[in-house]
Amino acid sequence: MNITREHIDDLNAVVKVAIAKEDYNDKVEKVLNDYRKNANIPGFRKGHVPMGLVKKQYGKAVLVDEVNKLLQDALNKYLTEEKLDVLGNPLPKPQDNLDWDSDEFSFEFELGLVPNFDIELQSKKPLTHYNIVAGDKMIEEQIERIQKQYGKLFAKDVVEENHEVTGVFVNEEKEINNRTTFTLDKIKGKKNLEKFIGAKVGDILTLKTKNLFKDDHDLMHHLSVSHEDVHDLDIEVTFTIDESNEREKAELNQELFDKLFGKDNVKSVDELKAKIKEDAEKQFVQQSDQKLLNDVTEYLIENTKFDLPAGFLKKWIQQTGENNLTEEQASEEYEKSEKGLRYQLIEGKVMDENKLTVTYDELKEGAKNYVKMQMLQFGQTNPEEKVVEDIASRVLSNNEEAKRLSEQIMSQKLVNLYKEKANLKTKEVTYEEFVKEVYG
């Protein structure tokens, strides 16, 4: 067997594979002998079928199969030994005149090569790394939510402004029939609010959905309609009042603190505020890190310039997809995927140059932390280590879950690398300022 390579340019090459009879003959003969031993052909005892008949019936198919296996193995070995970084898979060049009756065969494969490029993490203009803090307003609002959540409800016959009401929204045409509870501070506009205030339990209110709630997501939730349907929804609904309750806020005392954080872990309002601030800012780190990762990703894509073997990739998309694509469709698919492919190459080089890998121990620890978080949501604050280990092992046995966890760990490693090596400026903002600045 002889394999040669011709470089068309920096991004494209052709590999030629020449296969002689001595490369495949022994394997073909072995398979045919096995066929002969097991073949059931009328008129012949099993194992006594003439080899000439076996070759006539199966020889061509076996030859094609064995040559293709040999070809694939040789090509994969060649790419590995030559350390060729390729995009997609080698594409066989069409051979309409291939003669399978010949003893020697020659095949050609097109290769799309990974481009050479340099990565510069130090941008000329520093990227913003947000340090998100919990402001006094957020802390006070959280304390009020806690007091309401753990407070007592007192049933009332007449709705007042500070009440929360429970009832059923109905619209037969849109098949809306949803029982829900909300506080009147969610209602938008004085006219809508006036319909509720003074109404009695059992009353049926007629309301317009447009501008009924301050937030469309509240309208979606309380009417139980889809995200697509809720926008520009302008219909008439009835609301039957089942309950009207006044909520008395819970006192900020040791009983409440113990209920929230365990015995004597928080002993004063100041400690409560500090705990709320600490917990909130831990969550904010994740959002800040995600924003940093997104910004560095965009910077790298925009500022890391290299060409791709576009012609090869379009042909590869056209020939290897599940559905047969035209050249135009393949070009459209390439345009959609080009940005993602560029970042895959950039990210791969960043990881390679900085020796970033995910070890099994890291993956196992990540799975255990994931399991503990899940168990915490169900009130299991101190699970046995063996139980956690067993569940984590089951999680990692699921390839999709293992891949997801691995990607999360690698994303965090990339974030840590960018914090260390990228040109960043830290900006301290409250969560409200962060949302306004980032999302508008």
Task: Dump pLDDT digits (tens) for 339-359.
Answer: 999 999 999 999 999 999 999
pLDDT band of 38, cuts 50, 70, 90: confident
Percentage of residues in the chain having pLDDT higher than 70: 100
Question: What pLDDT shows up at residue 35?
Answer: 84
pLDDT exceeds 80 at position 245: yes
pLDDT band of 304, cuts 50, 70, 90: very high
Residue 192 — pLDDT band, cuts 50, 70, 90? Answer: very high
Predicted confidence band of residue 383 (pLDDT cuts 50, 70, 90): confident
Please check the confidence at residue 198 and state whether its pLDDT lies above 90.
yes
Q: pLDDT at residue 324 above 90? A: no
In the structure, what pLDDT confidence band is assigned to residue 56 with cuts at 50, 70 and 90? confident
Averaged pLDDT for residues 408-422 = 96
Please give the CATH superfamily to which domain 2-113 belongs.
Trigger factor ribosome-binding domain (3.30.70.1050)
**8 Å CB contact between 393 and 368:** no
The pLDDT assigned to 49 comes to 80
Give the pLDDT band (50/70/90) at residue 424: very high
Average pLDDT, the chain: 92
Locate the domains of the chain by residue range.
2-113, 152-248, 268-439
Residue 413: per-residue pLDDT: 97
| Predicted confidence band of residue 134 (pLDDT cuts 50, 70, 90) | very high
Q: What is the structure's pLDDT at 85?
A: 93
pLDDT at 379 exceeding the cut of 80: no
Share of the chain above pLDDT 90, in %: 78
Q: Which pLDDT score is estimated for 303?
A: 94
The residue-averaged pLDDT of 21-29 equals: 93
Checking if the pLDDT of 322 tops 80, the result is no
- At 216-235, the pLDDT tens digits run 889 999 999 988 888 888 99
The CATH architecture that domain 152-248 belongs to is Roll (3.10)
Per-residue pLDDT band at 37 (split at 50, 70, 90): confident
pLDDT at 299: 95
Q: What's the rounded mean pLDDT across residues 312-326?
A: 87
